[in-house]
Structure 1
Amino acid sequence: MKCVALNARFLRADVMEGYGNYVHEIFKRLVLQHPETSFIFIFDRPYDEAFITGSNIVPLVVPPSAKHALSFKYWYDVKVPLVLRKFAPDVLVQPYGFASLTTKIPQLLVVHDLAFKHHPSFIPKHHLYYYRYFTPRFLKKVQSIVTVSDFSKEDIAQHYPFAAAKTTVVYNAAKSGFQPLPFEARQAIKTQYANGCEYFLFVGGIHPRKNLLNLLKAFTIFKKWQKSNMKLLVAGRLAWQYNDIMEKLDSYKHRDDVVLLDYVSDAVLQPIMAAAYALIYPSFFEGFGVPVIEAMQSGTPVICSNTGSLPEIAGHAALLAAPDDVEELAQQMQLIYKDEIKRNQLIEAGKQHSKKFNWDDSANRFWQAIQQLAKK
């Protein structure tokens, strides 16, 4: 393999979330493992040097920043193909669900999920139109598709049968820094963030799809049943349609027990995760659900939704609840609070289950997909 081009738009140090982490973890391994290959990293704005992890990376800044539908088309279909002409890469990796409809370079497209098909109200209207119109065109144009769970693979095949034969699964994983903490360190984290109390942890953007409102309702029921001093920590940035959530939170009965942390780096999140009484992940829809594996790897039990990919990713190592059934969610919170034996069983099961997901395996599988495409 002489040259691989990577759309690196989401490698951004200030807001590294799911898409960006997936690309960074896989490609920092591929760059190291394949020094014979030149990797062209294509950014749409100034980049952080931390992402240039090898001398075989050629970083390119290709303006303008792709921030809306028209700029997406111009960047993908005009600017990037023009820039890549002189490099003639064997493969162009498009990790964010969008592809170029004009380039002749073989493309590998990563589609994390089809959330816009299942919950269109959670998508800004201009983005929704773009997804609906262009997703089938992207899937037809590209030669290979990678997705992050068997659930998403089946979902793609159901909605776009023509794409089934060229779709493979490469799982997400958790970073090595998500690991258990000794008792004293956990107590220090509780003192720092939760006034010394135990706490449930919610990780995800404040956005309707992540279902924070129903979690707050379930937390109210839990408080009514248990009369405990349990806190709820919320780690996530203000994403979209968050005003209603924030307004309700202002008048929330247990507002003093809810701690908003905003977006936090991995270095901050990792000990917070390891010290949590449980992770509560009640999302309406996920293509994977990385925090579930991060919690399990940290020795923290998990309560998550029974929808989307989450039953597949959580396996039998978590408690499940319907995301729209606040009483069922509260019952699972009560169970994990009252039954210490069950909680410890979940912790041990989670540690074992999380070993099924690791970035080295994912990088190897991704490289196989690149090689297969280059041979076509």
Structure 2
Amino acid sequence: MKILIDIQSMQTSSRTRGIGHYTLSLIKEMILRDDIEVVFLLNDYCKESAEVVFKELDGYYAIDKIKIFKAPHNVSCLLGVDRLRKAASILRDYYINALNPDFVLITSLFEGATEDFVCDIKDNRNYKVGVIGYDLIPLYNPDLHLPTENMKEWYYEKLAEAKKADVIFSISESSKNEFLELGGISEKNIVNISSAGDSGYKALEVHERIDLSSRFLIHNEFILYSGACDERKNLKGLLSAYSNLDQDIKNRLDVVLVGKYSENDIKNLRKFVASKGIKPEKIIFTGFISNKELQNLYTQCFVFIFPSFHEGFGLPVLEAMMCDAVTICSNVSSLPEVIGLEEATFSPDNISSITEKLKEAIVDESFRNRLKDNARKRAKIFSWVKTTDLLLNKAKDLCEKNIKAKGSNVYSQDELIRSIFVESGYEYLDKEIRIIANCIADNEISLAL
């Protein structure tokens, strides 16, 4: 079975968030399978991001399996040009068909609102398509996440695309239910493949640890959070709970926030911190850090807390437990599935609940020991081997039913040109025609390599 994995999600802003971590870990496991042929698909919109992917996969002997298709730029759904996006979509389709896969896996479909990205699911195809389904969080609060009509239109178009897939691979039982109830996906077309943490995450021995005081200016014991800072992550809830702790606890413990935050995000959070009477030096922002640095923070933190209102899976919770961290989290969406211990959870919309659980995790030694025991048990349950097995079993099942009827989907350059310039119904500028022609020529060279 030949699987083409569209990993363009590693070239968007998603690469520094959970989607990027999920994609990279999953494809590293799939590379190791000798019963499938794997090809990876990137675009040439951002050469720097493509180089990052090459570097990540270098040790897996996968460089020759990466194919890069070329298409016109300026194709984001909200800021780009419709006719160029249409041409890019056709070029991607032609490129995929020329590679003749049995199964196409899309690692993230809900991309490209404001970034160059093209990924459509065609109605007429002779290969099967699977999409990783992370969550449908915007549908729970569209006014917040989809504030304009254009954003709503883009999101619902992507949801309609998802319905064309032969299977949605949900990353948790919670996200599976979202696709069933909110996405209108048939249950027979959804498989929960769960998730796992990077195999590199484990508790570090003392001699393996870095000096946090010199690297991050962390001089005290600390409460750790890792993740984004948008509203659903509930950082204000965490900071409010911290402000309510007894003064002696606050004197002893700082709060370390890990994530790629904008200057404006940090400014707003510092303003909120000041409004709660928290000394500014008690809150430490690390910025985006390496996995090794994060592993050190997980290992050395006094408590890891994840107060999110909604998560497709909540990978930082699992990563923290893999490093034997005392871990507590919200009791909503997928997080109870991950942590697996009710007494380790709190209500994210109740500051008192967060404060009480945080204090318990700090001062109650018996509770801390139970959380550590739970962390070790839960860390063993999730694995990329299991996740990949579930995905490949479903993909093979779909392809076996399709293989006898499968013919070649490759079409000629003449058909490609007609699709772009005639059947699309768009008129292109002379400059755009030259750009598209160069893309066609470069793609032919790439496919021949």
The equivalent residue for 2:166 is 143
Q: Judging changes above 3 Å, is the alpha-carbon distance between structure 1 residues 38 and 178 closer, same or farther for their aligned structure 2 residues?
A: closer
The equivalent residue for 1:347 is 372
Residues 212 and 218 in structure 2, CA contact (< 8 A), matched pair in contact too: no
Q: CA deviation at 1:234?
A: 0.2
Deviation track 1:3-34 (CA, whole Å, cap 9, x = no partner) reads 22221112249943211221221112222213
Matched, 1:58 2:58: no
Q: Judging changes above 3 Å, is the alpha-carbon distance between structure 1 residues 75 and 351 closer, same or farther for their aligned structure 2 residues?
A: farther
Which one scores higher on RCO, CA 8 angstroms, separation ≥ 6?
2
Q: Judging changes above 3 Å, is the alpha-carbon distance between structure 1 residues 50 and 324 closer, same or farther for their aligned structure 2 residues?
A: same
The equivalent residue for 1:27 is 27
The equivalent residue for 2:100 is 88
Residues 196 and 383 in structure 2, CA contact (< 8 A), matched pair in contact too: yes
Q: What TM-score do you get using the length of structure 1 for normalisation?
A: 0.89
The equivalent residue for 2:269 is 245
Q: Judging changes above 3 Å, is the alpha-carbon distance between structure 1 residues 324 and 333 closer, same or farther for their aligned structure 2 residues?
A: same
CA distance in 2, matches of 1:66, 1:350: 44
Unpaired runs of 5+ residues, structure 1, are none
Residue range with higher mean Cα deviation, 35-44 or 360-369: 35-44
Residue range with higher mean Cα deviation, 68-77 or 327-336: 68-77
CA distance in 2, matches of 1:33, 1:154: 30
Q: What TM-score do you get using the length of structure 2 for normalisation?
A: 0.76
The equivalent residue for 1:10 is 9
Residue range with higher mean Cα deviation, 41-50 or 111-120: 41-50
Question: Per the alignment, in what secondary structure is the counterpart of residue 3 of structure 2?
Answer: strand
The equivalent residue for 2:176 is 153
CA distance in 2, matches of 1:9, 1:189: 34
Matched, 1:267 2:287: no
Query: What is the correspondence of 1:188-337 to structure 2 with a 5 Å cutoff?
Result: 188-189=211-212, 192-193=215-216, 195-224=218-247, 226-238=249-261, 242=265, 244-249=268-273, 253-254=277-278, 255-316=280-341, 319-337=344-362
Deviation track 1:68-95 (CA, whole Å, cap 9, x = no partner) reads 4465964874331122221121111112
The equivalent residue for 1:39 is 39
What letter matches 2:305 in structure 1? I
CA distance in 2, matches of 1:359, 1:65: 36
> What is the RMSD computed on CA atoms of the aligned residues?
2.8
CA distance in 2, matches of 1:352, 1:97: 33
Q: Determine which structure has more spread, i.e. the larger CA radius of gyration.
A: 2
CA distance in 2, matches of 1:191, 1:332: 31
Question: Per the alignment, in what secondary structure is the counterpart of residue 142 of structure 1?
Answer: coil
The percentage of counterpart residues that share the same residue type is 20
The equivalent residue for 2:431 is none
The equivalent residue for 2:120 is 100
What letter matches 2:21 in structure 1? N
Q: Judging changes above 3 Å, is the alpha-carbon distance between structure 1 residues 362 and 115 closer, same or farther for their aligned structure 2 residues?
A: same
Residues 187 and 196 in structure 1, CA contact (< 8 A), matched pair in contact too: no
What letter matches 1:4 in structure 2? I
Deviation track 1:152-191 (CA, whole Å, cap 9, x = no partner) reads 1122112244422110011211112221133566694367
Residues 148 and 170 in structure 1, CA contact (< 8 A), matched pair in contact too: yes
Q: Judging changes above 3 Å, is the alpha-carbon distance between structure 1 residues 226 and 21 closer, same or farther for their aligned structure 2 residues?
A: closer
CA distance in 2, matches of 1:216, 1:318: 21
